[in-house]
C-alpha cells in the first residue's frame, strides 16, 4: 500500500535513496541542486542541504546513517555530516555526471562511478582520491562494496559487471552475459554470490568463487530497476515497473509476484519485516510498503520459472550453503589497504577554493523537532528513526497494532519519580566523576547551555584549570539560570526541572566521551600507537587527543617521526585553545618533539642528496619536510603568544628559543 506522497522539490526530482540502517530515512535530490532529508513516515522535510551548483544525479547514505554523499551533473561530490548539519568534504575529480555512489561498510571511504567511465575510491577523512579504476567503456550505473569491504562491484551501460580488488587495486573479473545496460548490482549478505539486474529484463546470479553464472531469470516484461537480498539471504527482491518479484536462484524460480503501483521504483529497503519502496515522478516522491510476512520467500509453489525437464528442488536454506562465506574483520576499524596511489596531480589536497565551496554549502533545518528527534536524540541512542516502530498496517489489517503503538507513551518518566535530594546528589556525583576521569570536550561540539553569568561579562582568553571544579567545566553551566539575584527562590518543582536539564546534558557529555575513549583504547589494544592516534584524530574531538597525548608525554620512548606528522597539526589547535589544560598539553608535546626530533629534521634536510635509490631515506626525507612545514606554521602561533605574562608566557618563550633554528 502507499504510505506517503510528498512534494519533494520545487523542480523535478532526479535521485532518491533510502537509508539501509533504519529503512525509514529518505533522501531526495533535485534539479534545484538541493538534497532534502525526510522520514518516510512523516510528510515534512527535516533538513535541506545546499552547496551543489548543478542538479543532483546520485545519492547514498552510509550504513549508520550519519553521513550522506551527493554527486552532481558537473562531476562534483559533496559529503554532509547529518548530525552536525554541515558539509564535511567536497571531492572534485570526475569530468562528467556522477551516476553512482556507495559507502564502504567499515572505513570512511566512498566509491563513485561516472559518465566519464571511471570509478574513484575516496578517503573522506583526508579529502583525497586513493585510486581510480579504469576499464568500463560507458557510464557506471551502480557500485557496491562487498560485505567484507575487500571488493567493489560495478555495473555499467557497456553490458558488463566488473569485480575489483581493493587491496591489489586491479580488476579481478569481468562478468559478461547481459545484452543491455546493467542498472543494478548487489552482493549476497553472507555467501560469495552476486546478483545483477539489467535493462535486457533479466536478473543474473554470479558465483564469486568459480566466476561463472549460477542462474538467469529471463521471463520478465520490463527492465530491472533495483534488487535487494533479504537480510538472511534466503531470497532476492526485484523491483520492476509496478511489481515486486521474489526470486530464488538454485534453481531459478519466482516465489511470488506482488503488484505494487509504484511505477519506476528507484530504491528498496527492509525494516521490521516490511519492504519499503520509493519512486519519483516530476517533483513528487511516493513511498510504498509491502508486508513481508505475507510474502512467501521459499518452499512455496513457484510462479512458472521452473523448466519442465527440471525436478523441483527446494532452495538451500540460509546459512547452510556450500558457497564460501565472507570473512568479516573483527573490528570496525578495518579499511582497504592503500597499495596503489594516484599521481600527485590525481590526488586532491585541500585548497582555499574548496574551503570557500564548503562555506557556501549549508544545511537548512526545516523541521527542528524532527531533526533533533532523529539526528540529535537526548539519550544518544541512535540518530536514525527508531527500528521498533513499523509502519501502520494496510487498511484491511486489524487495528490492534495501532493500539499497541500507544502503550509506550503511558510509561512513567523515571527521572520525575526520583527524590529531589537523590537528583542533586546524582548531578554532583557526575560532576566529580567528570573531573576525575575526563577532560573538557571541544567547545564546538557542546550543546548550548544556559549560564548564570551576566551576558556583559567577558570570558577570559584562557579558562584556568581550577582544582575545585571539573577541568574546563563550570558547575554554573549545569544549574538554573538566575536573571535577577534579588528574585525570590525558585519553587522546588522548577528548580528540579532545571537540574534535570543539566543532568541530561552531563549524561550526553559523559556518554560521548566514554564512547570515543573506548574506541581509541580498542585500536591501541589491537594495533600500535600510530593507529590509535589516527583514530583519535579521526573522531574530531580535541579532548580525546589531549587524553592520549597526556599518556604519550609520560613515556618519551613512544615518540617516533611518524607520530610527529600526525600530532603537529593537533598541537597547533591545542596551543590556540581557550582551555588551559589543552594549552599545557600542547606545550609539553611540542617541547618533546623539538628536543628529540628537531636536530634530526634539520640534519636530514641539510644533507646532500644520496647516490642511487634509497627508498627508506626518501620516505624519511618526506616526513622531515612535512614536519618542518608544520613546525614553521606553529612557530607563528608561538611568536604571537610569547608576549603573554605569567606561566603561559614563559612556556611559549621557552618554545620560541627551541624553535630559533627554524629561522
User: Looking at residue 486, what is its pLDDT?
Assistant: 43
Q: Is residue 338 part of a domain?
A: no
Q: Is residue 317 part of a domain?
A: no
Contact 553, 435 (CB under 8 A): no
User: Looking at residue 159, what is its pLDDT?
Assistant: 94
24 confidence band (pLDDT: 50, 70, 90): confident
User: Looking at residue 214, what is its pLDDT?
Assistant: 92
Residue partners of 390: CB distance under 8 A and separation at least 6:
271, 272, 273, 274, 401
β partners of residue 140:
156
Q: Is residue 492 part of a domain?
A: no
What's the CATH code of the domain at 60?
2.130.10.10
Q: Is the dihedral of CA 452, 454, 458, 464 positive or negative?
A: negative
**Domain end: 234, 261, 293, which one?**
293
User: Looking at residue 475, what is its pLDDT?
Assistant: 54
Helix 529-539 × helix 561-575 angle, to 10°: 30
Q: CA-CA distance, 524 to 530, in Å (whole number)? A: 9
User: Looking at residue 185, what is its pLDDT?
Assistant: 96
For 502-519, how does the pLDDT look when each residue is reduced to its tens digit (9 = 90+)? Answer: 777 777 777 887 888 888
Q: For residue 574, which of 559, 556, 553, 555 has the smallest C-alpha distance?
A: 553
| Distances in whole angstroms, Cα of residue 486 to Cα of each of 479, 482, 490 | 17, 9, 12
Better-predicted residue by pLDDT, 663 or 175:
175
H or E element that contains 161: strand 161-165
| DSSP-derived secondary structure letter, 81 | E
Mean pLDDT of 464-492: 54
Mean pLDDT of 320-337: 52
**Domain end: 293, 312, 334, which one?**
293
Q: Is residue 478 part of a domain?
A: no
For 171-181, how does the pLDDT look when each residue is reduced to its tens digit (9 = 90+)? Answer: 999 999 999 99
Q: For residue 138, which of 120, 160, 122, 153 has the smallest C-alpha distance?
A: 160
Mean pLDDT of 313-323: 45
Which of 180-194, 294-308, 309-323, 606-620 reaches the highest mean pLDDT?
180-194
pLDDT for 448 beyond 50: no
Residue partners of 47: CB distance under 8 A and separation at least 6:
36, 37, 82, 85, 363, 364, 365, 366, 367, 371, 375
State residue 348 phi and psi, 5-degree precision. Answer: -110, 130
pTM, rounded to two decimals: 0.54
H or E element that contains 386: none
490 confidence band (pLDDT: 50, 70, 90): low
Contact 50, 307 (CB under 8 A): no
Contact 222, 202 (CB under 8 A): no
Q: Is residue 229 part of a domain?
A: yes
222-257 as b/e, with b when 16 or more CB fall inside 10 Å?
A: ebbbbbbbbeebbbbbbbbeebbbbbbbbbbbbbbe
State residue 574 phi and psi, 5-degree precision. Answer: -65, -40
For 520-543, how does the pLDDT look when each residue is reduced to its tens digit (9 = 90+)? Answer: 888 878 767 788 888 888 878 888
Mean pLDDT of 287-299: 84
445 confidence band (pLDDT: 50, 70, 90): very low
H or E element that contains 13: strand 13-18
User: Looking at residue 167, what is its pLDDT?
Assistant: 83
State residue 284 phi and psi, 5-degree precision. Answer: -110, 150
Contact 94, 116 (CB under 8 A): yes
3-state secondary structure of 505: helix
User: Looking at residue 661, what is its pLDDT?
Assistant: 79
Which stretch of 43-47, 48-52, 261-265, 295-299 has the lowest confidence by average pLDDT?
295-299
Better-predicted residue by pLDDT, 128 or 647:
128
168-198 as b/e, with b when 16 or more CB fall inside 10 Å?
A: ebeebbebebbeebbbbbbbbebbbbbbbbb
Question: What is the side-by-side strand order in the sheet with 56-61?
Answer: 56-61, 67-72, 77-81, 86-91
pLDDT for 109 beyond 50: yes
Q: Is residue 477 part of a domain?
A: no
Better-predicted residue by pLDDT, 361 or 617:
617
pLDDT for 322 beyond 90: no
Distance linking the first and last C-alpha atoms of the chain? 72
H or E element that contains 568: helix 561-575
Residue partners of 590: CB distance under 8 A and separation at least 6:
571, 575, 634, 655
pLDDT for 194 beyond 90: yes
Domain count, the chain: 2
User: Looking at residue 480, what is its pLDDT?
Assistant: 53
**Domain end: 254, 270, 293, which one?**
293
Using alpha carbons only, how large is the chain's radius of gyration in Å? 28
Better-predicted residue by pLDDT, 215 or 580:
215
β partners of residue 86:
81
Q: Is residue 218 part of a domain?
A: yes
Better-predicted residue by pLDDT, 59 or 304:
59
Mean pLDDT of 484-490: 48
120-143 as b/e, with b when 16 or more CB fall inside 10 Å?
A: bbbbbbebbbbbbbebbeebbbbb
Q: What percent of the chain has pLDDT over 70?
A: 69
340 confidence band (pLDDT: 50, 70, 90): very low
410 confidence band (pLDDT: 50, 70, 90): very low
For 123-163, how does the pLDDT look when each residue is reduced to its tens digit (9 = 90+)? Answer: 888 768 888 999 999 999 999 999 988 999 999 999 999 99
Q: CA-CA distance, 12 to 253, in Å (whole number)? A: 37
Q: CA-CA distance, 55 to 46, in Å (whole number)? A: 20
Q: CA-CA distance, 357 to 353, in Å (whole number)? A: 6
Answer left, alpha or beta for residue 372, where phi above 0 means left and psi between -120 and 50 means alpha.
alpha
Q: Is residue 301 part of a domain?
A: no
Residue 247's domain comprises: 2-293
Contact 104, 167 (CB under 8 A): no
The pLDDT mean for the chain works out to: 75
| DSSP-derived secondary structure letter, 191 | B
pLDDT for 491 beyond 90: no
Q: CA-CA distance, 235 to 220, in Å (whole number)? A: 17
Quick count: other Cβ atoms within 10 Å of Cβ 119? 24
Amino acid at each position: 500500500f502507499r504510505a506517503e506522497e510528498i512534494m519533494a522539490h520545487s523542480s523535478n526530482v532526479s535521485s532518491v535513496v533510502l537509508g539501509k540502517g533504519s529503512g525509514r530515512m529518505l533522501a531526495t535530490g533535485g534539479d534545484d541542486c538541493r538534497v532534502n532529508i525526510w522520514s518516510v513516515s512523516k510528510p515534512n522535510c527535516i533538513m535541506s542541504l545546499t552547496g551543489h551548483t548543478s542538479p543532483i544525479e546520485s545519492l547514498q547514505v552510509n550504513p549508520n546513517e550519519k553521513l550522506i554523499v551527493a554527486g552532481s551533473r558537473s562531476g562534483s561530490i559533496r559529503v554532509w555530516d547529518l548530525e552536525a548539519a554541515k558539509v564535511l568534504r567536497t571531492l572534485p575529480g570526475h569530468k562528467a555526471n556522477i551516476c553512482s555512489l556507495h559507502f564502504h561498510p567499515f572505513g570512511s571511504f566512498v566509491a563513485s562511478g561516472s559518465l566519464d567511465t571511471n570509478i574513484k575510491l575516496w578517503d573522506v577523512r583526508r579529502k583525497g582520491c586513493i585510486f581510480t579504476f579504469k576499464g568500463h567503456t560507458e557510464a557506471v550505473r551502480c557500485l557496491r562494496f562487498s560485505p567484507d569491504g575487500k571488493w567493489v562491484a560495478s555495473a555499467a551501460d557497456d553490458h558488463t559487471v566488473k569485480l575489483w580488488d581493493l587491496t591489489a587495486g586491479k580488476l579481478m573479473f569481468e562478468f559478461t552475459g547481459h545484452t543491455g545496460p546493467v542498472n543494478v548490482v548487489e552482493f549476497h549478505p553472507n555467501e560469495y554470490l552476486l546478483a545483477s539486474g539489467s535493462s535486457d529484463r533479466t536478473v543474473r546470479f554470479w558465483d564469486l568463487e568459480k566466476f561463472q553464472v549460477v542462474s538467469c531469470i529471463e521471463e520478465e516484461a520490463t527492465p530491472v530497476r533495483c534488487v535487494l537480498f533479504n537480510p538472511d539471504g534466503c531470497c532476492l527482491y526485484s523491483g520492476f515497473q509496478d511489481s515486486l518479484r521474489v526470486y530464488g536462484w538454485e534453481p531459478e524460480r519466482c516465489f511470488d509476484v506482488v503488484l505494487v503501483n509504484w511505477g519506476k521504483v528507484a530504491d528498496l529497503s527492509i525494516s521490521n519485516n516490511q519492504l519499503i519502496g520509493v519512486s519519483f515522478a516530476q517533483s513528487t516522491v511516493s513511498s510504498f510498503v509491502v508486508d513481508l510476512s505475507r510474502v512467501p520467500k521459499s518452499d512455496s509453489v513457484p510462479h512458472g520459472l521452473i523448466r519442465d525437464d527440471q525436478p523441483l528442488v527446494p532452495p538451500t536454506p540460509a546459512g547452510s550453503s556450500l558457497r564460501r562465506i565472507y570473512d568479516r574483520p573483527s573490528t570496525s576499524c578495518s579499511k582497504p589497504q592503500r597499495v596503489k596511489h594516484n599521481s600527485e596531480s590525481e590526488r586532491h589536497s585541500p585548497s582555499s577554493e574548496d574551503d570557500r565551496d564548503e562555506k557556501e554549502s549549508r544545511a537548512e533545518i526545516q523541521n527542528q523537532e524532527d531533526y533533533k528527534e532523529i539526528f540529535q536524540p537526548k539519550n544518544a541512542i541512535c540518530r536514525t528513526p527508531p527500528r521498533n516502530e513499523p509502519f501502520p498496517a494496510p487498511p484491511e489489517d486489524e487495528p490492534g497494532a495501532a493500539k499497541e503503538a500507544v502503550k509506550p507513551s503511558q510509561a512513567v518518566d523515571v527521572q520525575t519519580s526520583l527524590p529531589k535530594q537523590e537528583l542533586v546528589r546524582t548531578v554532583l556525583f557526575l560532576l566529580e566523576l567528570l573531573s576525575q576521569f575526563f577532560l573538557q570536550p571541544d567547545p564546538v561540539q557542546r550543546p548550548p547551555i544556559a549560564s548564570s553569568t551576566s551576558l556583559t561579562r567577558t570570558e577570559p582568553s584562557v579558562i584556568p584549570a581550577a582544582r575545585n571544579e571539573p577541568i574546563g567545566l563550570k558547575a554554573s553551566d549545569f544549574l538554573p539560570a538566575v536573571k535577577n539575584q534579588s528574585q525570590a527562590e525558585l519553587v522546588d518543582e522548577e528548580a528540579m526541572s532545571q537540574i534535570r536539564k543539566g543532568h541530561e546534558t552531563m549524561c550526553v557529555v559523559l556518554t560521548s566521551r566514554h564512547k570515543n575513549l573506548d574506541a581509541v583504547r580498542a585500536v591501541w589494544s589491537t594495533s600500535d600507537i600510530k593507529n590509535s592516534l589516527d583514530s583519535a584524530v579521526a573522531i574530531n574531538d580535541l579532548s580525546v587527543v589531549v587524553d592520549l597525548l597526556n599518556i604519550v608525554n609520560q613515556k618519551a620512548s613512544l615518540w617516533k617521526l611518524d607520530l610527529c606528522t600526525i600530532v603537529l597539526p593537533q598541537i597547533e589547535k591545542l596551543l590556540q585553545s581557550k582551555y588551559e589544560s589543552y594549552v599545557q598539553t600542547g606545550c609539553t608535546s611540542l617541547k618533546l618533539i623539538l628536543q628529540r626530533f628537531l636536530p634530526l629534521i634539520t640534519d636530514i634536510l641539510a644533507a646532500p642528496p644520496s647516490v642511487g635509490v634509497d627508498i627508506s631515506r626518501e620516505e624519511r626525507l618526506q616526513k622531515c619536510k612535512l614536519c618542518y612545514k608544520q613546525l614553521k606554521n606553529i612557530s607563528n602561533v608561538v611568536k604571537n603568544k610569547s608576549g603573554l605574562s605569567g606561566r603561559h608566557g614563559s612556556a611559549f618563550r621557552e618554545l620560541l628559543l627551541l624553535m630559533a633554528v627554524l629561522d
